[in-house]
Amino acid sequence: EAGVVQSPRYKIIEKKQPVAFWCNPISGHNTLYWYLQNLGQGPELLIRYENEEAVDDSQLPKDRFSAERLKGVDSTLKIQPAELGDSAVYLCASSPGGTGWETQYFGPGTRLLVL
Amino acid sequence: SQQGEEDPQALSIQEGENATMNCSYKTSINNLQWYRQNSGRGLVHLILIRSNEREKHSGRLRVTLDTSKKSSSLLITASRAADTASYFCATDGRGSTLGRLYFGRGTQLTVWP
């Protein structure tokens, strides 16, 4: 089965520009996560979706970050405007409902560099 | 913070040796997981151990959990160069944060051929 797909893999932008990341979870996985991973750190959750509903977004900086998961499948994470401190890897993960729901399957990430 | 903290931060060994990484956490958990991350890649789930379990095996991996000490260890036996990666422990949230994983900073393992 195909894994979690993310695009782009790399993105370089200037500060104050907008940027968007796209994620396609594993087919049939109801739960989708966006994580931020800074260099030398573990991932930190930004937002979690159950189907199309954001059920945990308390760590999403809502002044500049937004996310959506239309139709409960693909998801987009946007930053507008980007700041230098947003340079990091943005990871998407998904997990199934039912048995094994605790295990998360990660995509390769989008590495963002803000200049 | 509920984050797990791995120890050591970096570990360098020869192929064939065993590698042991430790994780400590602060709050009660339902389960604890270990993930591996190769450079420039996403995380890969290795093993999950529940709070009522003390030890679990998967191939060359052995995980222990001591809830009284709020600690876990990951043992990789007969290590290979391909085991070179960062290893993260992750604890689960409870209550309103159920479903959220809290990751530590990871242990960078280097296995020399």
Q: pLDDT tens digits for A30-59?
A: 999 999 999 999 999 999 999 999 998 989
Question: Which of chain A's residues have a Cβ under 8 Å away from the Cβ of B101?
Answer: 43, 45, 104
8 A C-beta contact, residue A106 and residue A93: yes
d(CA B23, CA B2): 12
8 A C-beta contact, residue A86 and residue A110: no
Task: State the pLDDT at residue A52.
Answer: 92
Q: Which element (helix H / strand E) includes A55?
A: strand A53-56
Question: Which of chain A's residues have a Cβ under 8 Å away from the Cβ of B48?
Answer: 102-103
pLDDT interval class at A1 (50, 70, 90): low
User: How many C-beta neighbours within 10 Å does residue A83 have?
Assistant: 12
Q: Are B42 and A107 an interchain contact pair (Cβ–Cβ within 8 Å)?
A: yes
Task: State the pLDDT at residue B89.
Answer: 95
pLDDT interval class at B94 (50, 70, 90): confident
Task: State the pLDDT at residue B81.
Answer: 96
